[in-house]
Each structure stands twice: as structure tokens, then as C-alpha cells.
Chains A and B, each alone.
Chain A
Amino acid sequence: MLCVVHTFYSFMRGASSPEALCRRAAERGHTAVLCADRNGFYGLVRFLAAARRFGVAPVVGVHLEHEGRHVIAVAKDPKGYEILCPWVSRRHLDPSFSLEKDFPDAGSHVAVISADAGFLQAVSSKVETYVGVVAGPVGRKALRLARELGIPPVALHPVYFADPEDFSLHRLVRAIDTNSTLSTLDPRELASPEAFLKPPQDAERHFPHCPDAVARGEALMRGCFADWGRFETVFPHYGDGPGDRFDELVRRCREGIVRRYGRSFPELEKRLAVELELIHAKGYVDYFLVVADIVGRRPIHCGRGSAAASLVSYLLGITHVDPIRHRLVFERFLNPHRMDHPDIDVDFPWDERDLLLEEVERLYGSHRFAMVANHVGFGARAAVRETAKVYGMSAADIAEVTRRLSGWTRPERIGERIRSHPAFRGFPLDPPWPEILELAARLEGLPRHLSVHCGGMVLAPDRVDRRVPVERAAKGVRIIQWEKDQAEEGGLVKIDLLGNRSLGVIRDALTMVEENTGRRMDYASLNPLDDPQTQSLLARGDTMGVFYVESPAMRQLQQKTCRGDFEHLVIHSSIIRPAANRYIHAYIERLHGKPYEPFHPALKDLLEETYGILVYQEHVVLCAMALAGFSWAEADGLRKVLSKKSREQIEDYRRRFEDGCRARGVGEDVIGAVWDMFTSFAGYSFCKPHSASYALVSFKSAWLKVHYPAEFMAAVIANGGGYYTAFAYVSEARRMGLKVLGPDVNESRWKCWGKGRKIRLGLQLLRGIRREAVERLLEERSRNGPFASLDDLWTRVALLPSDAVVLAKSGALDGLAGAFHRAQLLWWIHARCTEPGDKGVRHIASTRGRARGFGKTQGKLGAKNNLLERGSDTVPVPALPVPDATLLWRHEQEALGFVLSAHPLACDEAAYRKRPRPWVRAADMPRLVGETVWLKGWPITRKEVVTREGDPMAFVSFEDETAIYETVFFPDAYRRFCQTLGWERPYALRGTVEESFGAVNLAVSHLEPVA
């Protein structure tokens, strides 16, 4: 009998992980497991690993469903898998796919099982065929079919979940998937409650009438290849076919030496020889050439990650940080002991990445190219939302719960969050919420659908779909069915081409500088590391908008350290990780001269440049080698385990580390202190080459901010993203003394533009306007010149009333409005844009004469176009009351999402006046250290963290009309005010001004919303 196991990679059907199913299979006496997920091999690598772990023989198959017809195809050996992958790919990629016609000639490598007579008859000559018999009346019909066709029957037991109690989870995911409720869910969408992984003898009891079918299933399983070892590693090929291109690599490195250094020198030669030898030995020659070829297609990029430690990368132009000058260790990227295959990550301007990927696909051929997939699962919010919908909860009720869950909460932590987080304090969770939350927590880890990885790309030497099925993502690109971890395990060495907004900022700023001043600067040769003004800006922490150092924590660190040189910036970029807070304080103290002793004499030289603190990932590796005597591979394993947060594996490494240290006579206190520092690398941490690469981009950004502030800030606003909202960047620009002008149909471009001391906001910032309308407008303007009047604009560009209203409310039409004020302008637009067939317009024709006759004051449409003189174009505009500032602010808020002509706190001045408090200005905070003060505040950004005791607290940045300032909500204050603290509204804050190494912040003791 054949148990056809569907894991949760049969998206929204299976309810159990491959690990859970393999564990149960082993416990219940199955010797082999056939995993046949729907329409793909999405979880194949995980399934094989789980089968190895629990000691069951894995059998690989696929359950293909097409137009309501079902076929189970079993790969009897690896060749069978290679045959099935393209078949599955065609099912996804080819709209004219036919189960029979497209079925490959698989010989004895594949067996197919179906109850579809047409399919079985059509393919019986190409492949081993069986009629699938399931328990119940349908199975009896299948047995008759088997007799009629003369095809042997095989007993099947479909499995969709590991245990009987998982049926409720299966029902839930089906209801979510079909947008229904539990009671209205079509029974045909559900598996049977019996579809759990039963012991073989229990499953066999359903087939007393066909023992031969049961035996045949077992025989089929036994005949399948079960020794699925490691997958062959697949590197891309440079050029058209296989061949040794080492000489080509050497030649290009030599060219790189001339370009980067001018001439060679012994240290360089020695290092280059070592790297080239290792690259050759590990088979990375083509890989480097391919990456170099790709990055050569775009002038602005940033090679990052451990590959930035490679001299070869630097010489090929993949990375831009000199690994010799900055002492970057190549072994972090490649070393003889490293078993896995590291990839190279390269950042490109965010809006160029998709085009670049298209270019690569064209260049190498579609069949060789595919993006890596993401298996999108449920976060806590999505899990709660979807489950609650199945239970019929209203959208408002769901929002009340989900907004209290952090976006980072995982479903399994929902219960803990509800119990411990102050946002849930006093929040009643009446039935059926407890049931919903319990079920939602069970959605942990369940994949829901595929999406495209943000940059991972696979280039196969021949065809990608020989190794893994390929399908098309919603955005149209080809993606493999595996996510990055399975792709790596499956031997596919990916190349990461990632989008980076700050590179877009730098590109746009350089373009503006060139157009405004004629000064052309090349991104790669821009090397401002020694520019004193840039260093000074970084040392002040005046870095809003500057790549990687603009977060409040980073700005404060820069202020506290007062260091703006490259070497320190590299350290700061790495030490700022979340779990390292306690070491940051020690670092700052030591930086300012506090004496310290290294943990151990063996670490003295290793940690000298970082003041005895472990900062980079290499430090973990090297410390483990120095203190515990780990080999490089073992120590690198520790690094990887730390970043993946696997508690079980971390404990194993801890034991081994402690044993190793003790064996080498290291004291217990040192072991404890070093291990504590190791754990600060949990979650995410960086290697030095990565930090150095990013610090270089930070320097380039900071240089532009110092020397071309208007161009830089315009580019920051234009590229969006970043740590702050557009409004916060506009405020920062104003604090820098720049004038920010609103959008204008004759002056604005699509993107924001900076020149001199002015920034003109782009039409890209308008909300609620169709992009094609703006593009048409800009195209018309560039073709036939600026618009002379409103009427000219309306004549030349067809605008919908809704688009025109947004333009007017943003102030973009003020330049054409002539004598009209904003209210009259909007009136004119509504009157002018009324559709010809509309009731209103018919009235216009009949009442126009009367309207004039009323003797109302008629407005004019501009000096050159008095509509009263233009006969049929006349639109009567009455003398409406002149709008005050509050109405204009409201319009700006609607059209731009923020108030441009005043600080938002000014809009609520009346509300502040009602609260007579001894207000102080944020700019005066440094003079008020130690005092309790009242401040006005508009929230800018916020970060919630958890203390070592597990209490949530928050760092929130506010600004008033004078400065941006940082506040701390310690756990007690956060408990009281977390439900009051929101966005887009003014607050009154009371707290104590505190100072640490020159950086001031406010420890909040009271918070109240003002409006």
C-alpha cells in the first residue's frame, strides 16, 4: 500500500511539515515515505533531509493536478526526477499544457498512478502505469477500471496531515484558501478526516478486497531509489559552453591591478595568487567572471557581504573596498575547509534591478535563468487576520487585535505577546477570540504561496528545469520552486542582485549635480574617505538621509563617539546590531580612553582595532579558534548557527566551546564572558568586508550631503524608502537651510529636484493621481513648452476631475490660477471637468446666460485668458470666501500626505495653547540636562525593543519646529503610554533630559495626545 504524503508544501492543503510527517512515519512503522506534493517539488530538499534524520527511506514523487484531473508520478531514480522536473515546469509555464501530450518518454525511470482512464491509456506505452485505488466506493470504481484497461491497480492512502487532530488545521487552511467559512466550505475541497499518516497495517485495513493492490504498492516503493544523497553543485558557465576560463580570470585581474593600484607589489601578488588558487580549486572561476560581467553592465553598484573581502572581486570591479588597505580577510569568503558554497551579493539602484535581471535573462537565455523563490508563510498578523475572517469577525475587530501585534511577531509567539505585552493590557478577548488565536498560532511555518526572492538568481550551465521545476511568478519572472536555503542545499549557487535605495539616491544626486553645475563625477572613482567636512558631518551624527547611518541609534552612536573616519564607521556599522547594546557602552568608554584588559592574551592582537570588543563575524570564528582550538570549519559552523538562532545547535556548540577552552586552560570567567559576547551575534551580524562596503557607500552619501545638500536631499525624498517619511526628510531639508518648494505643473519634474539652496518637490509625491496622467502632462510640457494658463493646460492635456483636484490641492496649479484663489480654482475645475453627458453640463448650456446675468463677480482664468472674453469656454466662478491657512494645510495633507507650508505642530497651535505648560524647544535640550521639561512633539520614527528581563520599551524620535529629538520610553512608561502612542498626530511630552557622551535624549514620564 502506498501512502501518498502531501506536506504543507502542497500549499494550503497539507497541514504538516516534512519533518513532522517523517517523524510520525518513523514512529508508526513506515520504512519508506512517498512525498508527492501538489504540482511541484517545493519542499523536496527539506523532505530528503527529514527522511535522513528520522531514518525513513524517501521516495520522490509529485501529485500533478491539471484541469481537475489528477496524476501521481513517482521518480524511481534521479533520472526519473530529471524527467519529471521539465514536465512539472511545463504544467506551470505552458498555457496549452496537456497531461498526456506533454508527458515525457520516461521508460522505467518513472511510474504513474491515476484513476483517469484517458491519461492511463495515452501514456501506458511511455511509462509504467498503475490505477490508483483509494478506500471507499471510488476505489471500487477504480478497481473495475483497472480490470477493463488491464492496468494493475495499486492501493493508495492519501495523507494531508500527520495526526488526526490536524484535520482542524487542514479545514482552516482550506477555508482560508477558498475564501469561505468553515460551515460554507465545499466538502470537495477537503481531504477526509482519515487522511492522516496511519500505521501501515491500519491503512491496509481499508483494502481487504484487493490485497494484490496493497502488495503492489509496497513493491513499487521498494523498487524506488531511496538513496538521495547530496545534490551536485551547479555553477553558472561564463560564455556559451563549458571550458576552463582561469586564464581569462587572471588576465582580467591583471587589468584590474593597473586600474585599481597602478602597479603591482609583492603583498598584492602573494594574496592574489592565494585567492586565485582557491577560486580555481573550488570551481568559482566562471562564477566570478559571470558576476563581473553582470556588474559591468551598470555603473553604480556595491558588492557586499563576505565577497568584499576578496581581492579578485575588487580587481574585477565587483566590490569597491580595497581589501589590502583595510585588512579584510579573504578566508571569511572562501577557505579550503568551507563546505558550503558562498554567493556574491551585489546591490544596484533599486529601480534598475528589474531591468538588469531582464537583461541577464536575455543574455544567458531563459532556459538557463530563473529567480529564487520565497516561500511566503504567515506572520502573526496575517495568521490572526485570515483565521478571524474564517470565523466571521468584522474587519474593525480584526484590526483592533492585529494592530497590537508587532509586524515581526511569529504566529507561535501570539500567546506570549498577548500575555506579556502592555498593548493587550485591559483588552478583552471574548470568545471566539481565544479559539481563533490558538488556531492562528498553529499556522506557524505553513507556507502559503510563492513569491520572488528580492534578488537571488540562478544561472544554470544548461537548463534550470533539469534540477528543479520552474514556474512564473505573479510579476512575470521565472522562479524556481525552492527558496534560498533549499536552493543552496540543492547545489544551486545563486547570485544576489539586490535593490538599494541609497544607490538610487547617489545616482540621482550625481545626475542633478552634473546638470546643475556641469561637474561630472564617476561613482566608482568618488572616494571621499579623507574629506574633512564629510568626516565632521559623520562625527556630528548629522546624518539623516545618509545611507546606513541615519537611524536614531546610529546617529546617537556617531554623536557619542565623535568619530567620522572610515575605520571607525566600519566598526559602528557592525556593532550597532540589536543584541550588542551592552557592549556598545563599553566600546564608547574605551574609545574615549577608559583603560581595559583583553579577555585573554590570545585575543589581544585580534581585537585590538575594536578596543577588545567582538564586532565582526570573523571575530567569532577567530576567537573560537584561538580559545577553544576549533578548526576553521567548526568555528564557521558556530558563526552560522548563531545567526540562525537554533537553540538546540547553539547549546551543542556552547558545550563544545567550553570543553575546548577548558582543555586549553582558559578560565571559567573568560569562557562565560566570551560566550556572552558570542550570543550578541544572534539574529543578524555582519562581517567586516560587508561593513566596509556599506561604510564606503555611507561616505559617498555623506559627501553629497555636505557638498550638494539640495541635490542630495531632493534625491533622498525622490527615492522614498529610508528610515523616515517624506515629511521628516522635508523637515530635515528645512533645518539644513534649504527652501522646499511645492509641486508645480510648469516647474516640477516627476522626481524631486534640488539646485542651489532650493528643492522643488516632484509630481511623484502626489497622492491619488494616476501616474499616466502625470506622465502625459510632463510629456506634453516637454514637447510644447510650459502651460500658459489653466485653459491651456486643459486644452493640451486630458485630465480627469479627480486628477485635477489633486493637482490643485497640492498647489501645483497655483502658478496658473491667476486671480483665482484655491477655492475658486477647485470650483473652476469641477465646473470645467463635468462630463458632457452629465446633467450638470446640460444645465450649463441652458443657464450660462442666466449665470452671467446674475451679476456675480466673475473670476478670471489668468491674465492672458479671460474666459468671459472666450465665449463658449466661459466657466462661471462665483466670488467664494478666501480660504484661510487651515484649509490649505488640509489640502496639502490630502494631496501630499503631509503639510508642506507649515510645520504640522503649527496646525495644532490652538490645541497647544489650551494646555498652558512651560514648553521648551527641542533645540534647547542640551542646555537643560537633568531637568524635567515639557516638549511639543510630532513622532517621526519608533523602535520597540525588549529588555533583558523581557519587558518591552521603545525609542521614539520626535521633532518640533526647531529640531529632531530622541526619547526613551522605559518599560514602565511604555506600559502606560504604548496604547496612546500613535502616528500623524501631535503630542505633549514631559520627561527628564539625559545626556550620555554628548548625546541628549528625553526619558519620558508623561505623554498626552494634543489633538
Chain B
Amino acid sequence: MERAVVHLHVPDFCAVLEGLRDPSRARRPLVVADPGGRAVILALNPLARREGIREGMPCAVALRRCRALQVVPPDRAFYRHAHETLLRDLGAFSPLVEGGALGRYFVDLSGTRRLWGPATDTACRMEEHFLHRHRLATRAGLAGNKLVSQVAAECVGVGDVSWVFPGGERTFLHGLSVEALPGVGAKTAGRLMDFNIRKVGDLAALSPGELLPVFGGHAPRLLRLARGEDDLPVVPFEKEATLRLVRDLERDEIDRDRIEALLFDLTEEGGWILRRRNRIPGRVLVEVRYADGVEVQVARDVKPMGQVLDRLLFETVRDCARSVIRRRVAVRRIAVTWSRFRVPLRQLALFPEAGWAEGRERRIQAALDAVRRRYGRQAVFWGVTICGHAGEGA
């Protein structure tokens, strides 16, 4: 059976979504960037691109280039939700739908000809669906594998479908720049440039024996890319149960006490949710984004506990944070994700592991929860978080 993989790409996904949310924005250059003059551009609309603005450019520079630029803070939950909605919609066309980065989708249409007709028609229908249902203009590439379909999509404008005939992959890729190949980054492209290999065809013409001495173990993969060979399947999206809480700091923070106060606040929120859902996490992941955009993360197993207790939960989170926040650069964003949930055991242990201290901790937690259930979460809080509150006040 002939494989048919469609790649759909919504260009400038986040910026377009912001334009749709508030149509008055769509008529002017718009960029999505974290708050603060020194944030970098995360996404932009075509009008901003026309002004010479690019992703990764400092916001201050972009504003100097274009005085009328609108800067919108990112709403990641909104983008993620929209992305998942589109994924679900595409599920109507095929059970094999893979969501890559935001606004990029692979749909395996192999064997659907009798159901939907030719794959090109289906791809057009998907584009129309996106446009009419969600007002999102897309471009589509259709080919025998994910690699070529993705490259094919980049070669056409929005609203068009690019179809690469089976067997025509090498011919199609031949004249393209090597940078068009997904997986060829700046470093590899620079090295290829040294050898004056600028077109994919030049690279594809080389034999493995010629490439191996120079590119070593990367040679076979590079050659496969250049020849349009890709046997990776389209893997449907599966979601593991997690609880992820994110804090984008209003102001970049370097003070360790204030960061830990914020983490405690985050942990309390997580603990509150977990207790209500009757889940105990087995693992925690702490992700930190610094002000210079560098992101670091660390994951650890959560110490076994019979019940979610905020202060015990925080010990692991704090240890994670201390091991990961080591640079002399302020923190801009913190995310904590709990996963590998289990249901608490109701049966009491014969020889309780927790001693008097844990019993006391349980009673405190129960009292706090009781107050919060009645008067709201902010009715009572631990003193350690006052540092954070005081800091904000100051």
C-alpha cells in the first residue's frame, strides 16, 4: 500500500491566534513576547515579518524597528488548547494524527482513499476545514513520508497543497537549499557550506563512503535526509496524566528566598488540587527559564507518602530547584509538573513509618484545608510565603 502523509502547517500560529482573539490586532504588526523590554520575540504575524522583525529578536530592537508594533504576552494555555482542538478535528480524517510543534500536524492518510477519495483532495478538505471552522490559513504538503511532506509544505503558500509523487522525492528535494531539510541545523549547514554543498541535490549525490570520513556516524542520517528517505511512523498523540503549574514572574527574580516562597506557593496550589483529586504524585519535574532564555529542568521521585502534605511535597520541589537554579541569572518562569499518580492507600500500616512529626503535619494540613474550604485559599498561608508577598509589596 502506498503511504500518504500530509503535513499541515499553520504559519505564525501563536500570532495568528492572537489576531483571531482580537481582530483589531490583526491589521497591524503584532508580536508575541514575554512582558518586559528585554524579552525576545516568540512569534509574529506576517505584517511584523515584513518590517524585518524575526523570531528571537529582542523586543526592544523590534520596537525600534517598528514603532507601531503590538506586543502581546504569550498565553500558552490558550495556544496549547487550540493546538489540541485542531488535533482532535484531524482525528476525524485519520486515526494516525501526530502533533509536533504548535501549529504543525502530520496526518497519515494511507489506506483512506476509498473512504475520503484521493489524498490531495483530503488535504484540501483539511485546509478548508481549518479555514472555515477555525479561520486558520494553512499550507499543506503531501508525500510518502513525514520528512518530505514537511519540506513540501514549506514550499507553497498558505491555501496551497504541494504533492510530491511517490518516487519523486529526490527530484523534488534536488534543487532545495540544504537548510530546508528538517534536522539540518546551523552547524551542519555551516559545515556543508564550507564544502560548497548548498543544494540538497549536491549532498544526495555523494556516496556513503565519501561522506563517512567527514561526517562520521552522522553520514547515513544526513544522506537519508538528502534522499528524502524517512520511515518514521506518524505517532498519535498520547497524553500522560500530569498536573503542571506554571508561574511567569512579573519581574525577573534572583532572590533565592523569594523564588522559594513562590515555589512553596506553587506547591501548595498543587497539593490542594491533588488532595481534592485524591492523587499522590510519584515524580516531580521542575523547569526553570532564566531571563536570558536558557531553560533547565530536573526531575526527581517524590518521597513515598500516605497523603499529600504540602510541606513534604515542597521538600522535593525545593531540592530540585536548588539543584537546578545555579546560574547568576534571574529567573523568569518556573513550572512544576507532578506525574505518575497513584491513589492513596486507605489501609493503615501495621507499623506506621511516619512518626509523631508526620502526624502533626497531617493535623496542620487538615486544619489549613478546612479553613481554605470555607474561606478561600488566600484566607490562610504559611509564613515562608510572606517573603514573596512582602517582596511584591515592596
Contact = CB atoms under 8 A, between A and B. Distances in A.
Interface of A: 179-184, 389-397, 400, 426-428, 430-432, 805, 809, 822-824, 826-827, 830-831, 834, 838-841, 843-844, 847-848, 850-851, 854, 856, 875-878, 880-883, 887, 890-891, 979
Contacts of B290: 394
B330 A848 contact: no
Contacts of B248: none
Given A181-B256, A882-B196, 10 more contacts: A391-B330, A427-B60, A431-B251, A823-B197, A838-B216, A840-B212, A841-B213, A843-B219, A887-B193, A979-B64
A992 B78 CA distance: 55
Contacts, number: 133
Contact of A430 (B37, B58, B328, B331): B37
Contacts of A183: 254-258
B329 interface: yes
Interface string B260-295: 000000000000000000000000000000111100
Given A823-B194, A851-B207, A876-B210, A394 B291 contact: yes
Interface string B105-131: 000000000000000000000000000
B209 A393 contact: no
A985 to B, nearest CB: 15
Contacts of B209: 843, 847-848, 850-851, 854, 876
A395 B292 contact: yes
B46 interface: no
A978 to B, nearest CB: 13
Contact of A181 (B36, B60, B206, B254): B254
Contact of A389 (B36, B252, B328): B328
A8 to B, nearest CB: 23
B217 A840 contact: yes
A393 B329 contact: yes
B80 interface: no
Contacts of A854: 207, 209-210
17 contacts: A183-B257, A390-B328, A391-B254, A394-B291, A394-B292, A394-B293, A395-B292, A823-B194, A826-B194, A827-B195, A834-B214, A840-B214, A843-B212, A844-B212, A875-B213, A891-B194, A979-B64
Contacts of A823: 194-197
Contacts of B205: 878
Most B CB contacts (10 A, CB to CB) among A809, A827, A854, A891 go to: A827
B160 interface: no
A891 B258 CA distance: 49
Contact of A394 (B194, B196, B253, B330): B330
B208 interface: yes
Contacts of B79: none
Contact of B37 (A428, A432, A834, A856): A428
Contact of A878 (B206, B292, B329): B206
A184 B209 CA distance: 55
A911 to B, nearest CB: 14
B210 A851 contact: yes
Given A183-B257, A397-B291, A830 B214 contact: yes
Nearest first, the 5 A-B pairs at minimum CB distance are: A392-B254, A394-B292, A851-B209, A392-B330, A840-B216
Given A181-B254, A431-B251, A840-B217, A392 B328 contact: yes
B197 A880 contact: yes
Contacts of B58: 396, 400
A855 B212 CA distance: 16
B210 to A, nearest CB: 5
B328 A179 contact: yes
Nearest to B291: A394
B215 interface: yes
A881 B254 CA distance: 52
A847 B37 contact: no
A353 to B, nearest CB: 37
Contacts of A809: 194
Nearest to B198: A881
Contacts of A834: 213-214, 216
Contacts of A883: 196
A805 B254 CA distance: 42
A438 B254 CA distance: 18
Contacts of A840: 212-217, 219
B369 interface: no
B221 interface: no
A881 B192 CA distance: 11
Contacts of A875: 213
A649 to B, nearest CB: 42
B197 A847 contact: no
A850 B198 CA distance: 25
A979 B60 CA distance: 13
Given A840-B214, A856-B210, A428 B329 contact: no
Nearest to A830: B214
Contact of A839 (B202, B207, B216, B251): B216
A431 B37 CA distance: 10
A889 to B, nearest CB: 13
B222 to A, nearest CB: 12
Contact of A184 (B193, B213, B256): B256
Contacts of B251: 431-432
Contact of A397 (B38, B213, B215, B331): B38
A788 to B, nearest CB: 23
Given A395-B292, A396-B292, A400-B60, A843 B213 contact: yes
Contact of B38 (A389, A396, A856): A396
Contacts of B208: 847, 850
Interface string B83-108: 00000000000000000000000000
Contacts of B198: 881
Contacts of B215: 840
A831 B64 CA distance: 47
A446 to B, nearest CB: 20
A393 B330 contact: yes
Contacts of A430: 36-38
Contacts of B202: 880-881
A393 B291 contact: yes
Contacts of B64: 426, 979
